[in-house]
Structure 1
Amino acid sequence: MSNANIASAQLMMQQLNIHSEMAKGAISVTPNPRDFGLQPPSFTELMKNKVAAVNTDQNASAALMRAVDTGQSGDLVGAMVASQKAGLAFSTMIQIRNRLVQAFDEVMKMPV
């Protein structure tokens, strides 16, 4: 056997052992972030990150469309896909906002 085959066989055995330990319950499949000193992000941080991601998609789409319009790029399909992706991300963000406002209104209407 060559060294590559031996290394491949050893890697496969290690993976099998890990899966075997996971099946026995000896290894936790979902580690707790607090075990590593990490705190899960807050709702505010998650929303800021998603709004920033939607903004990035919108800006990238606009730049691609501008490049196609000015003749700097011939990738019309890529620009259209980016535009659709940005539009879908924005629409999803608006739907999430609407649901949050609706939930807030329902909570405010609850009797105390």
Structure 2
Amino acid sequence: MESKGIDQMLSMLRASSAAAGGRVAEGQNTPAGGTDFAQVLQASIAQVSQTQQQAETMAANFAAGNSTENLHEVMIALQKANISFQEMIQVRNKLVSAYHDVMNMQI
């Protein structure tokens, strides 16, 4: 179960990295003009949201006493959600910084 999620996350990171570099990731079709930044950003935000929802569900199930959830799996899921959220915040900070740099440029 965990390796599927990790493989999916690695696949998404590779696709995002390829999109950022202007390359086409394996098995992806891109428009003739290149990659759409808004779609990449939206997909990344959706992935972070899904990771957080999954971690919250696992934590709620564990707190309710469901025997299907192990403490270490819940803690790992919560840490993954936290790390992905922190990464998203750093990307946002870089985007805001770049926006301010562009807006402060003299023409």
Counterpart residue number, 2:5: none
Higher helix share: 1
Change (3 A) 1:78 1:32: closer
2:43 is aligned with 1:49 = yes
After the TM superposition, which residues 21-32 of structure 1 pair with which residues of structure 2 at under 5 Å, given as runs?
A: none
Counterpart residue number, 1:91: 86
C-alpha offsets along residues 10-46 of structure 1, whole Å, 9 cap, x if unaligned?
xxxxxxxxxxxxxxxxxxxxx968xx97424300000
C-alpha offsets along residues 31-80 of structure 1, whole Å, 9 cap, x if unaligned?
968xx974243000000000000000000000000011000134110000
Structure 1 segments, 4+ long, off by >6 Å, are none
- The correspondence for 2:61, drawn from 67, 81, 87, is 67
Alpha-carbon distance between aligned partners in 1 of 2:50 and 2:98, rounded to the nearest angstrom: 28
- The correspondence for 2:95, drawn from 89, 97, 100, is 100
Measured after TM superposition, the shift of residue 103 of structure 1 is 0.5
For residue 49 of structure 1, what is the amino acid of its counterpart?
Answer: A
Segments of structure 2 that go 5 or more residues without pairing to the other structure are 1-22
Identity of aligned residues (%): 30
Q: If you compute each CA radius of gyration, which structure gives the higher value, 1 or 2?
A: 1
Task: Compute the RMSD of aligned alpha carbons.
Answer: 2.2
* TM superposition score normalised by structure 1: 0.65
Segments of structure 1 that go 5 or more residues without pairing to the other structure are 1-30
Alpha-carbon distance between aligned partners in 2 of 1:32 and 1:79, rounded to the nearest angstrom: 35
* Aligned pairs, number: 80
Alpha-carbon distance between aligned partners in 2 of 1:86 and 1:111, rounded to the nearest angstrom: 40
